[in-house]
């Protein structure tokens, strides 16, 4: 048999590739959950602060690894894991043509900002068409999510309290909390006093300047367990907390809310990467905003054109205010030179530039110190979203509770397995040895199908699961065609080898023609475009293509090898 | 093992009988659809809300009806399944802002049954605009799918087979939809997906037979075209039935053991597979034979 070695090599390579493609999926569902619960168990057992800090560091590593693996594995749709899918439409009816132009982008930015606050694992937020936004949130409190997402954006400019005063305020809060029973929720003190700091290149200032002195607050991070300061570290001169401590820290801070210094509030920045781990900056702000987002007439990203050499080639945001607001702004900036003015969108501080000089005419710029325009573009959108709200309506919602999702998976897999099992048994009874061969092909089919779907980063939905079951039913069709043909040829008195050859050759065209039509309908279905149906169409099309390949090449190869090796003279089929 | 040995059933000469049978089935389907007043469309197509609700402490249908009436949603559809979960269908209306039906429902449930925990298992809301778009997309997909098949079959075979394939496809779709209406199954996007898949499969079946005819016409020079057709059906009978059986094993498993939301899909696939098998044995080839009788192709004479 010529080329048998090559065929075998190709087949082995394909299997290896399939295993490689499915490996992350296997890890995600069968290895990681065990590791995670083991880590959690160790965390609860940890006695000393050292122990628990070590476990927490491992936990952070683990989470990073999980995100990486998750990205490379076969995704499960919301109908299987539970969660909420919303389609929002920007309501442009009250906007002028000019305002409506980038309303979609503004709404997207506002929604990203809000979804970020949920701390959902792997949310999907994307623009669909011009004015629609699709949001997928696995497992969230639906009502809270809906009401948060639907709100109109609120942008405020608030003065930032100085570092020293912020530190003192936190310390005072800690002292007060200590005398309250049940305040010891803090798990561990942070020993790492974030020291090696990359300079705060983010958002700087029209007006402004980034060069900020190190505050030299040495005590930070060395405070007692269970205290606010125990969580806090310095990040480029700002205070910040680790993202994984954020919920606990926030709860602690909220509990102390009645004792917050009068006229001030604490807000956080968005989650950002700092030395490889996610952190959030913490700001103490004057509660009364100096100015509202409605003051902004326009905000655009632009290249820096001033004379300062350090800023050459960087991007800035140029900001225009209305005439009345310009006067207010002149006052605010004039009185607070050297202080920082936070730009807070929906109570998330997106930037806190230092006021460089008094801005008299309502034309300001915010420097970013970035050669890349992305940051200035994002900030400009944030500023405009506060100025020109882009109200959104929910036009479609598809939510599935987690319990229903897992029930669907369980029953879907059970049904598919039962269906597949009946098919497997039937094939062996009906075609004896050849049936075993077809069963082999079927198993490989399912394996390759999963591997390809994982490789395509496709999402497995409930209809997708059904499509998979269907391809199991259809997978044997190609083999049935071949086997029936072989039987016929044998009846004409051909030798086994000749009958098998003829059977495969004659059936090939039929197999291709027959599967082509189903692929055509799968493509048509794909255009309907709704999530679960796309999953169905993709799975069906991929399944059929693999069917043809395994039936025509894989089973034939095994068939041929078997016939030559054992010199089969009589074939029971 | 064999289910069907060598057969020589006279399918083609009895074709008139099958035409009449198919015609009657199609008429009956139409009648059922009309008598039922169309289909039971899901929220995908009508727009509106579908909420599946589970209570920790069971709530009676009357109490639940009361809640809906208090909300001014007395017209909403209410169903209680064997597990005591409720399926509520509210009519389409303009969903301004973020107040959807389920938001209002949650509020009312909190008032009416304080202390009784509930879980919203499923919440689907399709705005009127989106449902209109979906209708358009589905129609387009079905038409594109049919056109694609007609073009492919005409290209690979000839117009006779192409027309036969599309006719059988209309035949299968109509009868399957008749069953959907008869059993009052909900027509959702998933059901449409099943109809399209079934169409693909039914044509697949027809193609296998047509392929055989094409091959045998060249080989069997002495036999008449009718005999060639008849033998092609007989030769393929075993394959047709085996393949249909394997698919039916799967769709029946889905129908019996699958989750509720997949059962409508499995129902359509099951009916569609049976009808599709029938049509590929009794309809397509007979149509081609009839065509050949009326307009004999010159090549063979």
Buried/exposed code over A349-374 (b: 16+ C-beta within 10 A; e: otherwise): bbbbbbbbeebeebebbbbbbbeebe
CA gap A469, B252 in Å, rounded = 11
- CA dihedral A257→A260→A263→A269, nearest 10 degrees, is -70
Query: How many angstroms separate the CA of residue B201 from the nearest CA in chain A?
Result: 6
Domain boundary among A73, A100, A132: A73
- Tokens 């073009």 — which residue? B151
Considering only CA atoms, which of A366, A364, A379 is closest in space to residue A316?
A366
Highest-confidence range of B133-142, B152-161, B189-198, B248-257, by mean pLDDT? B248-257
DSSP one-letter code for B300? G
pLDDT of residue A192: 34
- Tokens 């071949």 — which residue? A482
A144 contacts A158 by C-beta, under 8 angstroms: no
| pLDDT-based confidence at residue B240 (cuts at 50, 70, 90) | confident
CA gap A367, A312 in Å, rounded = 11
Q: Name the β-bridge partners of A321.
A: A296
pLDDT of residue B33: 93
CA gap A87, B29 in Å, rounded = 37
Domain boundary among A52, A73, A94: A73
**Closest residue, chain B, to A481 (C-alpha):** B239
Contact across the interface for A481 and B249, Cβ inside 8 Å: no
Name chain B contacts of A469, Cβ cutoff 8 Å.
Answer: 250, 253-254
- Tokens 């940890």 — which residue? A46
pLDDT digits (tens, 9 = 90+) for B82-100: 778 888 888 766 555 556 7
Nearest CB among B196, B207, B251 relative to A514 is that of B207
ipTM of the complex in this document: 0.86
B193 contacts B269 by C-beta, under 8 angstroms: no
**Closest residue, chain A, to B254 (C-alpha):** A415
User: Is pLDDT of B117 > 80?
Assistant: yes
pLDDT of residue A216: 42
pLDDT of residue A119: 63
Q: How many CA atoms lie within 13 A of B242 on its CB side?
A: 29
Pairing of strands B186-187, B77-80: unpaired
Q: Is residue A545 part of a domain?
A: yes
pLDDT of residue A388: 66
- CA dihedral A248→A249→A254→A258, nearest 10 degrees, is 130
- Tokens 């059906």 — which residue? B233
pLDDT of residue A71: 82
Output the six-digit token pair for B15: 């074709």
Buried/exposed code over A477-488 (b: 16+ C-beta within 10 A; e: otherwise): bbbbbbbbbbbb
Contact across the interface for A143 and B106, Cβ inside 8 Å: yes
Q: Which of B7, B199, B200 to mutate to test the interface with A (most CBs of A within 10 A)?
A: B200
B178 contacts B28 by C-beta, under 8 angstroms: yes
What is the H or E stretch that residue A481 is in?
Answer: helix A462-491
Nearest CB among B125, B140, B192 relative to A397 is that of B125
Q: Is residue A215 part of a domain?
A: no
CA gap A504, A52 in Å, rounded = 64
| Sign of the torsion formed by the C-alpha atoms of B259, B264, B270 and B272 | negative
Backbone angles phi, psi at B41, to 5 degrees: -75, 145
CA gap B219, B227 in Å, rounded = 13
- Tokens 């897992």 — which residue? A406
Contact across the interface for B121 and A506, Cβ inside 8 Å: no
pLDDT of residue A195: 34
Kindly write down the DSSP assignment for every residue of A394-433, as one continuous string.
EEEEEEE-HHHHHHHHHHHHHHHHHHHHHHHHHHHHHHHH
- End-to-end CA distance of chain A: give it in Å, rounded: 22
Put simply, whether A152 touches B (Cβ < 8 Å) is no
Considering only CA atoms, which of B123, B105, B268, B299 is closest in space to residue B189?
B268
B153 contacts B162 by C-beta, under 8 angstroms: yes
| Count of C-beta atoms within a 10 Å radius of residue A454 | 22
Nearest CB among B141, B203, B252 relative to A517 is that of B203
A232 contacts A166 by C-beta, under 8 angstroms: no
| Count of C-beta atoms within a 10 Å radius of residue A514 | 27
- Tokens 């290896």 — which residue? A16
pLDDT digits (tens, 9 = 90+) for B249-274: 999 999 999 887 788 889 999 999 99
Q: CATH no. for residue A506?
A: 1.20.1640.10
Put simply, whether A419 touches B (Cβ < 8 Å) is yes
What percentage of chain A's residues is helix, strand, coil (to nearest 5)?
Answer: 55, 20, 25
Query: How many angstroms separate the CA of residue A549 from the nearest CA in chain B?
Result: 17
pLDDT of residue A160: 92
Q: How far is CA B90 from CA A519, B42, B111, in A?
A: 36, 11, 20
Output the six-digit token pair for A3: 């080329």
Burial group, residue A307, by CB count within 10 angstroms (0-12, 13-18, 19+): exposed
Buried/exposed code over A65-86 (b: 16+ C-beta within 10 A; e: otherwise): ebeebbeebbbbbbbbbbbbbb
Put simply, whether A147 touches B (Cβ < 8 Å) is yes
B134 contacts B189 by C-beta, under 8 angstroms: yes
Nearest CB among A146, A399, A533 relative to B189 is that of A533
Angle at A306 between CA A301 and CA A310, to 5 degrees: 95
pLDDT of residue A294: 81
Q: How many CA atoms lie within 13 A of A431 on its CB side?
A: 25
Question: Which residues, other chains included, contact A527 with Cβ-Cβ below 8 Å and sequence gap of 6+?
Answer: B137, B140, B141, B144
pLDDT of residue A211: 35
**Residues for chain B: how many in total?**
301
Q: Is residue A495 part of a domain?
A: yes
* Greatest C-alpha distance within chain B: 84
Strand order across the beta sheet in which A363-370 lies: A296-303, A315-321, A363-370
pLDDT of residue A187: 38
Q: Which domains does chain B have, with CATH numbers?
A: 15-42+131-300 (1.20.1640.10), 48-125 (3.30.70.100)
DSSP one-letter code for B52? E
Considering only CA atoms, which of B50, B264, B85, B263 is closest in space to residue A396?
B50
Domain boundary among A73, A99, A127: A73
Q: How many CA atoms lie within 13 A of B271 on its CB side?
A: 24
A354 contacts A207 by C-beta, under 8 angstroms: yes
**Closest residue, chain B, to A90 (C-alpha):** B97
Helices (H), A242-365: 246-255, 323-335
pLDDT of residue B98: 53
DSSP one-letter code for A101? T
Contact across the interface for B254 and A423, Cβ inside 8 Å: no
Q: Is residue A278 part of a domain?
A: no
Name chain B contacts of A430, Cβ cutoff 8 Å.
Answer: 1, 3, 242
Pairing of strands A341-345, A155-159: antiparallel
Name chain B contacts of A434, Cβ cutoff 8 Å.
Answer: none
Q: How far is CA A251 from CA A120, A267, B126, in A?
A: 18, 13, 37
Q: What is the pLDDT along chain A (573 residues), one digit of tens a residue?
A: 457 788 888 888 988 999 999 999 888 888 888 888 888 888 778 777 777 778 878 888 888 888 888 888 888 888 888 888 888 888 887 777 777 777 888 888 878 877 776 667 778 888 888 788 888 888 766 766 776 676 667 788 999 988 888 888 888 888 877 655 444 444 333 333 333 333 333 333 333 333 334 444 444 545 556 678 888 888 877 888 888 788 888 888 888 888 888 889 999 988 888 877 788 999 999 988 888 888 888 888 888 887 788 788 888 888 888 888 888 888 888 898 888 999 988 888 988 888 888 888 888 888 877 788 888 888 888 888 777 667 788 888 888 887 888 888 888 889 988 998 999 999 899 888 888 888 888 888 889 999 998 888 888 888 888 888 888 877 788 888 888 888 888 888 888 888 888 888 888 888 888 888 888 888 888 877 666 778 888 888 898 888 888 887 888 888 888 888 877 777 776
Chain A residues 477-516 with CB within 8 Å of chain B = 477, 480-481, 484, 488, 506, 509-510, 513-516
**Residues for chain A: how many in total?**
573
Name chain B contacts of A412, Cβ cutoff 8 Å.
Answer: 258-259, 262
Select the more confidently predicted residue: A144 or B276: B276
Q: Is residue A190 part of a domain?
A: no
Burial group, residue B59, by CB count within 10 angstroms (0-12, 13-18, 19+): buried
Query: How many CB contacts within 8 angstroms connect chain A with chain B?
Result: 244
Look at chain A and report how many structural domains it folds into. Answer: 2
CA gap B280, B258 in Å, rounded = 28
Q: Is residue A328 part of a domain?
A: no
What is the H or E stretch that residue A464 is in?
Answer: helix A462-491
Domain span at A475: 402-566
Q: Is residue A54 part of a domain?
A: yes
CA gap A70, A29 in Å, rounded = 10
Helices (H), A191-312: 228-231, 246-255
- Tokens 């900001």 — which residue? A319
């Amino acid at each position: 048999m010529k080329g048998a070695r090559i065929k075998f090599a190709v087949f082995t390579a394909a299997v290896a590739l399939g295993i490689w493609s499915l490996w992350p999926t296997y890890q995600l569902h069968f290895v990681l959950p065990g590791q995670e619960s083991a880590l959690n168990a160790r965390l609860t057992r940890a006695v000393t602060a050292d122990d628990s800090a070590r476990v927490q560091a491992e936990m952070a590593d683990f989470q990073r690894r999980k995100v990486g693996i998750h990205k490379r594995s076969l995704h499960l749709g919301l109908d299987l894991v539970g969660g909420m899918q919303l389609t929002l439409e920007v309501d442009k009816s009250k906007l002028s043509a000019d305002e409506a132009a980038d309303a979609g982008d503004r709404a997207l930015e506002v929604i990203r900002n809000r979804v970020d606050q949920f701390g959902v694992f792997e949310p999907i937020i994307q623009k669909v068409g011009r004015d629609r936004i699709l949001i997928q949130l696995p497992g969230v409190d639906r009502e809270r999510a809906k009401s948060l997402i639907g709100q109109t954006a609120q942008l405020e400019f608030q003065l930032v309290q100085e570092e020293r005063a912020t530190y003192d305020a936190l310390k005072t809060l800690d002292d007060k909390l200590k005398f309250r029973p049940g305040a010891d929720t803090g798990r561990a003190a942070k020993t790492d006093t974030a020291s090696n700091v990359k300079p705060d290149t983010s958002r700087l200032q029209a007006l402004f300047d980034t060069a900020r002195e190190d505050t030299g607050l040495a005590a930070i991070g060395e405070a007692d367990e269970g205290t606010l300061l125990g969580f806090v570290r310095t990040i480029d001169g700002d205070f910040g907390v680790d993202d994984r401590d954020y919920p606990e820290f926030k709860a602690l801070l909220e509990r102390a809310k009645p004792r917050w210094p009068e006229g001030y509030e604490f807000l956080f920045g968005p989650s950002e990467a700092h030395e490889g781990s996610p952190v959030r900056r913490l700001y103490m702000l004057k509660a009364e905003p100096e100015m509202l987002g409605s003051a902004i007439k326009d905000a655009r990203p632009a290249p820096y054109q001033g004379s300062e050499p350090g800023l050459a080639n960087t991007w800035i945001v140029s900001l225009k205010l209305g005439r009345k607001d310009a006067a207010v702004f002149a006052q605010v900036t004039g009185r607070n030179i050297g202080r920082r003015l936070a730009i807070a969108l929906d109570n998330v501080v997106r930037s806190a530039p230092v006021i460089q000089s008094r801005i008299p005419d309502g034309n300001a710029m915010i420097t970013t110190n970035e050669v890349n325009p992305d940051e200035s573009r994002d900030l400009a959108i944030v500023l405009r979203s506060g100025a020109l709200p882009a109200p959104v309506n929910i036009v479609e919602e598809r939510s599935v509770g987690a319990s229903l999702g897992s029930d669907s998976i369980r029953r879907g897999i059970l049904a598919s397995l039962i269906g597949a099992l009946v098919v497997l048994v039937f094939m062996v009874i009906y075609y004896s040895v050849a049936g075993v061969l077809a069963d082999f092909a079927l198993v490989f089919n399912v394996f390759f199908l999963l591997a390809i779907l994982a490789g395509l980063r496709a999402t497995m939905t409930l209809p997708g699961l059904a499509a998979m079951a269907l391809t199991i039913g259809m997978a044997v069709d190609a083999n049935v065609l071949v086997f029936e043909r072989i039987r016929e040829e044998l009846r004409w008195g051909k030798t086994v080898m000749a009958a098998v050859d003829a059977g495969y050759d004659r059936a090939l065209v039929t197999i291709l023609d027959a599967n082509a039509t189903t692929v055509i309908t799968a493509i048509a279905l794909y255009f309907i475009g709704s999530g679960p149906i796309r999953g169905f169409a993709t799975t069906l099309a991929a399944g059929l293509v693999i069917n043809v390949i395994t039936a025509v090449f894989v089973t034939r190869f095994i068939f041929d090898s078997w016939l030559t090796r054992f010199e089969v003279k009589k074939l029971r089929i | 093992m064999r289910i069907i040995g060598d057969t020589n059933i006279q399918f083609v000469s009895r074709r008139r009988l099958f035409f009449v049978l198919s015609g009657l089935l199609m008429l009956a389907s139409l009648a059922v659809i009309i008598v039922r007043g169309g289909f039971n469309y899901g929220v995908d197509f009508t727009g509106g809300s579908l909420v599946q609700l589970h209570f920790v402490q069971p709530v009676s249908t009357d109490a639940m009806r009361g809640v809906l009436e208090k909300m001014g949603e007395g017209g909403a559809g209410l169903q209680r399944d064997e597990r005591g979960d409720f399926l509520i269908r509210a009519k389409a209306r303009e969903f301004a802002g973020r107040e959807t039906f389920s938001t209002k429902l949650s509020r009312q449930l909190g008032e009416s049954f304080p202390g009784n925990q509930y879980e919203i298992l499923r919440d689907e809301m399709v705005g009127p605009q989106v449902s209109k778009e979906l209708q358009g997309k589905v129609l387009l997909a079905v038409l594109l799918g049919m056109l694609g098949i007609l073009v492919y079959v005409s290209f690979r075979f000839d117009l006779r087979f192409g027309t036969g394939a599309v006719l059988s496809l209309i035949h299968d779709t109509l009868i399957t939809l008749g069953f959907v209406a008869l059993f009052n199954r909900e027509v959702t996007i998933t059901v449409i997906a099943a109809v399209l898949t079934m169409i693909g499969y039914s044509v697949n079946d027809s193609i296998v037979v047509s392929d055989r005819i094409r091959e045998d016409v060249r080989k069997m020079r002495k036999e008449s075209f009718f005999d060639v057709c008849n033998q092609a059906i007989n030769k393929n009978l075993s394959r047709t039935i085996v393949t249909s059986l394997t698919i039916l094993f799967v769709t029946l498993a889905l129908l019996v053991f699958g989750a509720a939301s997949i059962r409508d899909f499995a129902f359509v696939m099951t009916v569609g597979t049976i009808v599709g098998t029938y049509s590929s044995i009794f309809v397509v080839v007979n149509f081609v034979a009839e065509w050949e009788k009326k307009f004999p192709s010159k090549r063979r004479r």
